[in-house]
Amino acid sequence: MKTNTVTFTHPSVNVLENRTLHCYRNASYSNVPTTIKVGPFDQLVAPFIPVAVVFIYEQSGSLEPIPVRRLQRALELLLDYYSHLTGRLNIATDGTYEITRIGTGAELLVAKCTDRLDSFSLDTPGRISLMDLPGASNALFGPFDASLEGICRDPLFTVQHTRFACGSVALGIRLRHNNCDGNGYFQLIRDLAELYRGLKSDYIPTLARPPHFLSYMSDLDMTSDEKQEALAFKPSLLVIDPLPEAIKAPSQPPPHVVGRILRFTGAELEALKVYATDPSTPNNWVSTFEAISALLYQSIYQARLRYFSEDPSAVSPPDFLTPFDFRGKRFPELPPAYFPNALLCLYTSLSHDMLSHAPLWQIAKHLHDLMRNKVPDAGHLKSTLRWIAAQPDKTRIRSGFRYGNGSIMVSQWVKFDMYAGTEFDDDEKPKLVSTPFTSISLVDGLAYTLPTEMQGKAGGDKQAIDVNLALSEPIWEILERDEQLKQFSTSWSPIGVRSG
């Protein structure tokens, strides 16, 4: 049977061992349900999408960081708190996701790189870039099979430990997105680091703040009448797809998608925020994320119009999408240390005239209002989640966002404070934390805002932000000449990761 397994190889990286991980204390899984249903939030995420991040730890002194034996013990202790991650995904006949076969195990791959870490500093000596690492860091993760067979067969949680010739270490950690969002992911990483640090004593460490891993509304059981009432609700952000029609093959294959990194320095971001604020009301403000999003939204749309100048109708509706996290005061029913997904995606669409001719501050103001005025309140959100749970065919649930060659999606990863609490050894922050461009994330119009490697060391520009941006290859060629974008982002990765 043909699968969609993607393995990024690099001549200097070799996997030496593949170890199955089980819970440390509860290896029999006698107290764990055999099947765990996910909740409505998790149901909105396609099962083939992972959350994958690489963490780079540089050797300092004579001791090698993160020995495999201690890491494995910490991972086993972690699974005592996240035991469902030893299971496998099952998709029920109505499209409901379930975690079954709990106890099958997570996965730890032990790898070696024959080159030193500093040999990958191709841009600036001493600075490690995502693009410099083996396979643009993809070789630092285990293989991933995005086929239906693979996502139901393979582990939900995988870790690759790669030791460089100099002793430095890369951890490539991948989780299935329908188990958690970015917030939950970094909670798990901090829990792992806490347990690892605790192993320096003779006692078995415990977490000071244990996670809540059961999905909200996963135990919801509605009567037939309650289901009908739930289905009568009209959510503001979701729709039901009509029954699928036959898919026509495109007349010619679309261009390759290329992922590149745009860096915004702290000074550039301050100038951009001023530029993106209504000059007639300077007391108003836009966030850094809103200013960056507005800049990308307008610049990319205008580049696409130039590319399709002979047939502007070929550009799909210019929809904008961004995920919104409902943890905290917005939805207090979610417990503290909530691990699963808690996201809905906000979206909007601006007119051709505004994106083509309006000053940037008007676009930024529209996005500012979207983030504050279009977010469902707690009552609407709860009804939306019940509507999801009641659907007889969950595969037909869709966002109202219209994806196409005119749309853009921007995710705010910088808010996760990705470097905080990820020290495995005391005071040894990672040198780099970043998410790679993969075969799954190379989607035309997808962007992530990320902290830079400056977060991992003393001094430097702590306010700088990287934007990992994937675009159709010919759009990049036009965007490189965009004066407005170049005004606020003077550093771009010269090469990118190319799909196909």
Cα Dmax for the chain: 71
pLDDT value of position 499? 85
Question: Is 233 within a domain?
Answer: no
Please indicate, yes or no, whether residues 204 and 304 belong to a single structural domain of this protein. no
The reply to whether 241 falls in a domain is no
Regarding whether 485 and 349 lie in a shared domain, the answer is: yes
Q: Are both 211 and 290 inside the same structural domain?
A: no
At 382 the pLDDT is 97
Q: Which of 195, 273, 269, 258 is nearest to 454 (CA)?
A: 269
Q: Is residue 240 in a domain? A: no
In contact, 424 and 196? CB cutoff 8 Å = yes
Question: Within this chain, do residues 393 and 492 fall inside the same structural domain, yes or no?
Answer: yes
Quick: pLDDT tens for 308-345: 999 989 999 999 999 999 999 989 999 999 999 999 99
Residue 340 sits in the same domain as residue 487 = yes
276 shares a domain with 197: no
- Whether residue 235 lies inside any domain: the answer is no
In this structure, are 323 and 390 located in the same domain? yes
How many domains is the chain partitioned into structurally? 2
The pair of three-digit structure tokens given for residue 35, joined into one six-digit string: 């099947």
Buried b (16+ CB within 10 A) or exposed e, 265-280: bbebbeebbebbbbee
Q: Note the helical H segments in 91-223.
A: 148-153, 182-198
Residues 268 and 343 in one domain: yes
Would you say residue 95 lies in a domain?
yes
Query: Could you say which of 225, 246, 273 is where a domain stops?
Result: 225
Q: Classify the C-alpha dihedral 190-443-345-448 as positive or negative.
A: positive
pLDDT at 253: 80
pLDDT the model gives residue 460: 73
Residue 399: other Cβ atoms inside 10 A: 16
Q: What are the φ and ψ backbone dihedral angles of 196, each rounded to 5 degrees?
A: -60, -45
Q: Among 204, 225, 246, give the residue marking a domain's end.
A: 225
The pLDDT score that the predictor gives to residue 248 is 59
Separation between Cα atoms, residue 422 and residue 55, nearest integer Å: 9
With respect to residue 246, please indicate whether it lies within any of the assigned structural domains. Answer: no
Q: Is 301 helix (H, G, I), strand (E, B) or coil?
A: helix
Whether residues 284 and 209 fall in one domain:
no
Residue 187 CB partners (closer than 8 Å, separation 6+): 180, 211, 337, 339
Note whether 169 and 280 are same-domain residues: no
Structure letter (DSSP) for residue 23: -
Final residue of a domain: which of 225, 245, 272?
Answer: 225
Distances (CA, A) of 337 to 31, 297, 357: 21, 33, 45
Q: How far apart are CA 435 and CA 418, in angstroms?
A: 11
User: With a cut of 70, which residues of the chain have pLDDT below it?
Assistant: 1-9, 26-32, 122-126, 244-251, 282, 456, 458
The separation between CA 258 and the C-alpha centre of its own chain, rounded to angstroms, equals: 18
Q: Are residues 290 and 167 in the same domain?
A: no
> What was the pLDDT predicted at 34?
76
Q: Domain containing 210 — which CATH number?
A: 3.30.559.10
Structural domain that includes position 371:
256-498
Same domain as 179, residue 317: no
Is 486 within a domain?
Answer: yes
